[in-house]
């Protein structure tokens, strides 16, 4: 199994509070992604990173920010959590080249009350 760890696995937080989710990899892969998964919407890309300090927005980036200060860590921050951000969040990593595959973490279930 690819070395990718998400923390925490579960979190309940109140509306308006900041939340940070962490993704840690031991594979030295260049690309890291944050997705959210909701019923009826499938996997939607929030932000991704193509190197240290190199990040870009995905499909649903509003209300989220990311940081990547080291190859192995990719942080997702909800500056002020809202109920619409209740979801399951997945981190993924991938290498480069045609046919590159993504490896996923086990997910973080976030509930905003």
DSSP-derived pairing of the beta strands 54-57 and 42-51: antiparallel
90 binds other proteins, rule: CB under 8 A: yes
50 binds other proteins, rule: CB under 8 A: yes
Tokens 């905003």 belong to which residue? 112
7 binds other proteins, rule: CB under 8 A: no
Distances (CA, A) of 67 to 1, 14, 77, 78, 98: 25, 23, 8, 12, 26
Shortest CB 17 distance to other proteins, Å: 25
96 binds other proteins, rule: CB under 8 A: yes
Residues shown for the chain: 113
Strand partners, 112: 13
Q: Are 21 and 13 in contact (CB under 8 A)?
A: no
62 binds other proteins, rule: CB under 8 A: no
Pick the binder of other proteins from 66, 92, 110, 112 (CB under 8 A).
Answer: 92
Near other proteins by CB under 8 A, which window of 12-20, 41-49, 70-78, 79-87?
A: 41-49
- Footprint on this chain of other proteins (rule: CB under 8 A): 30-31, 33, 35, 40-45, 48, 50, 56, 90, 92, 94-96, 98-107
């Amino acid at each position: 199994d690819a070395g990718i760890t998400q923390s925490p696995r579960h979190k309940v937080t109140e509306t308006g509070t900041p939340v940070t989710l962490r993704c840690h990899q031991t594979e030295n892969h260049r690309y890291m992604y944050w997705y959210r998964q909701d019923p009826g919407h499938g996997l939607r890309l929030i932000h991704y990173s193509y190197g240290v300090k190199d990040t870009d927005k995905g499909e649903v980036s509003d209300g989220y920010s990311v940081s990547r200060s080291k190859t192995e860590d990719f942080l997702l921050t909800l500056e002020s959590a809202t109920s619409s951000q209740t979801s399951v969040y997945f981190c993924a990593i991938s290498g480069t080249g045609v046919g590159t595959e993504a490896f996923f973490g086990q997910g973080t279930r976030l509930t905003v009350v």
